[in-house]
Each structure stands twice: as structure tokens, then as C-alpha cells.
Amino acid sequence: RSYEAVSETSSFSTSAEGKVIAIPDIAQFSFSVITQGGVSLQDTQSENTNKANAAISFVKSKGIDTKDIATQGYSVEPRYQYYNCDREDTVCPPYEIVGYTITQSVLVKVRDFANIGDLLSGVVQNGANTVSQLNFTVEDPLMLQNQAREKAITIARAKAKSIAKAGGFRLGKL
């Protein structure tokens, strides 16, 4: 933050940085259910949904609130059969779809850090194929940013007062 002091003919500015330290209050991780199936997309979707729902039910059974569980992504990708046609006199058939791969990813916020280990292993035991992106963070960073700004302004104001006093200036507005 900058703080300016102005005299009749001159001006100057100061700046400062404010820092705050916070202890993380939430952990987040994501898990995915990856299902490879045949050409029946509906069957593959049903299998994927059942596995994802089982993992989500497990997470809820561990005390995670519904508002802390969110679908992060859902994708359907075809799998193709390619043919190797090395001879020039051979007509190569076009590639064809032989099945689908569905990936559903879910983000989970954890407020009780004692449950993290059980949750990570439990979602795999209940249908998830992958677990990733475990990180610890602060749920309300804006509050911390405001505290840091207040510190920065206080420091910049003190610098400006000192400089203004030494230079015989009158302090202006922030």
C-alpha cells in the first residue's frame, strides 16, 4: 500500500507490506472413478455412477457434509480400434469405436484432519480408482488478506509520518 504526504511544492510516497500467518483449517482432495466399458454407453455410465455414488456415500458416512462434496468433472471418451495395414494393396478398414471410458471426479473438503487417512483409503475401497491433489488451505482467505492490508497501511502510515516530520512536510491523505 502507498501513503503520500504533500507539502506546498513537493510530495513523496511510501509503501509497506503486511503479512499474516494462518494455520490451515480445511484439507481438500479429489478422487476419480474411471470406468472402461464396451459400446453400450448406458451400461458404462451406470457402472461409473454406481461406483461414484458408493464412494460419495462412504465420504458422507464419515461425517462430511453434502456442501463439502462437489463433482469436479465428468468426461466420456470413445476408445477406438485401429487396424494395422502395412501393405499398399490392402484396403484398410476405418477405425471403429469399441467402447467408452468415463471419468468422474469429485472434490471433497475435510474439516476434521483426523479423518483424512480413512477418507483417502476408504474412497478407493468404495469404488474410486484414483485419489489426488491433497492440499491444506484456509477456507476464508479474504479475512486474512484484509488483516495483511491493515498491517501494511499501518506500517506505511508510520513511515510517512516519520518522513514528513523529518522533512517538515504536512501529511496528506492515504
The whole-angstrom separation of Cα 144 and Cα 57 is 34
The bridge status of strand 69-81 relative to strand 26-37 is unpaired
Question: What torsion do the CA atoms of 42, 65, 111, 124 make, to the nearest 10 degrees?
Answer: -30
**pLDDT tens-digit readout, 81-130:** 888 777 776 778 888 999 999 999 999 999 999 999 999 999 999 999 99
Give the global pTM. Answer: 0.72
Query: How far, in Å, CA of 106 to CA of 129, rounded?
Result: 12
**Nearest Cα residue to 56 out of 144, 148, 127, 112:** 127
